[in-house]
Amino acid sequence: MARDAADPAAARKGMSGLGSQIWIAGLAGLMTLMLALQIWAGFGVISSTRAVADGDALMRETDSLLHLLQETEVTQGRYLRLQTAEALDDYRRTRGSAPVAFGQLARLAEAEKADSGAGCSVMTAMLEEAFRSMDRVIHLRQARADDEVLMAAEARQMQAVDLARQQIALAQTQIGQRISARLSAADENFTIAAGASLLGFSFAIPSAIVMFRRLRRSREQERHLRLQVEAANLQLESRVAVRTAELLRANRALADANAVKDRFLANMSH
């Protein structure tokens, strides 16, 4: 009977333990999913931030090229007015920094890993044409070409410089759009990471409360089961003691009966 009384409690305890294990496994899976989502979003934030930095560097380089174009125009105009060796040296020094700037632009465009490569190539080609047109005007002035030829060369220079400026403005607009898109992507990834963290936190606290309650209930059930087992053991010991006393009395009665029988037989034999 003690075993029969303990079996339902043990079964309930087993079911409770199984439910707790299922709950823990589900919670662990959910937390793992939240962690994976946070890691994915974190990498997205890092990637977008790096792309924004690359785009910003490319934007600054286009500003430098625009400034170089303007400075080259200024030094060319000074030489055309003064026609001195010093003014020519200033022009050549400014003009000579263009290839280095073009190389830096190409490296940044490649690092940005976007559609900027083709746009920067077109911009570089237009800038090179603008610088070559300035060189032609300088050469014609040094060669004392006719005014008509010189004016035509200056007109082509103005057109080439304007086209180069327009291409720089277009490239900067495209770069700015990509930077804005990447900032938006970084914000979205950050929102996802923060949401995953908040969701995981919001699940962790109620889950901890539920697990605490389940643990306390399990301990109470275990204590109740232990008390039942102890009570059953005491009841069994009491029954064993009663049964033992009954057997002792029966043995004494049997011994007394045997003694009476022996005396009777002894008397009959005499």
Residue pLDDT, tens place only, 203-260: 666 666 666 676 677 778 778 878 887 887 788 788 877 888 777 887 787 777 777 7
**Type of residue found at 267:** N
Report the run of H or E that residue 28 belongs to, with start and end.
helix 2-82
Average pLDDT for 71-92? 93
Contact 116, 173 (CB under 8 A): no
Closest Cα to residue 68, out of 134, 115, 151, 159? 134
Contact 133, 160 (CB under 8 A): yes
Average pLDDT for 7-20? 54
Domains of the chain from N-terminus onward: 28-206 (1.20.120)
Q: Please count the helices (runs of H) and the strands (runs of E) in the chain.
A: 5, 0
Q: Which residue has the higher pLDDT, 248 or 1?
A: 248
82-85-87 Cα angle (round to 5): 50
Q: Output the pLDDT for position 127.
A: 92
Residue 83 has pLDDT above 70, yes or no: yes
Classify residue 62 as exposed, middle or buried by CB count within 10 Å of its CB (0-12, 13-18, 19+): buried
**Above pLDDT 70, what percent of the chain?**
75
Contact 157, 129 (CB under 8 A): no
Report the predicted TM-score, pTM, of the whole model to 2 decimal places: 0.60
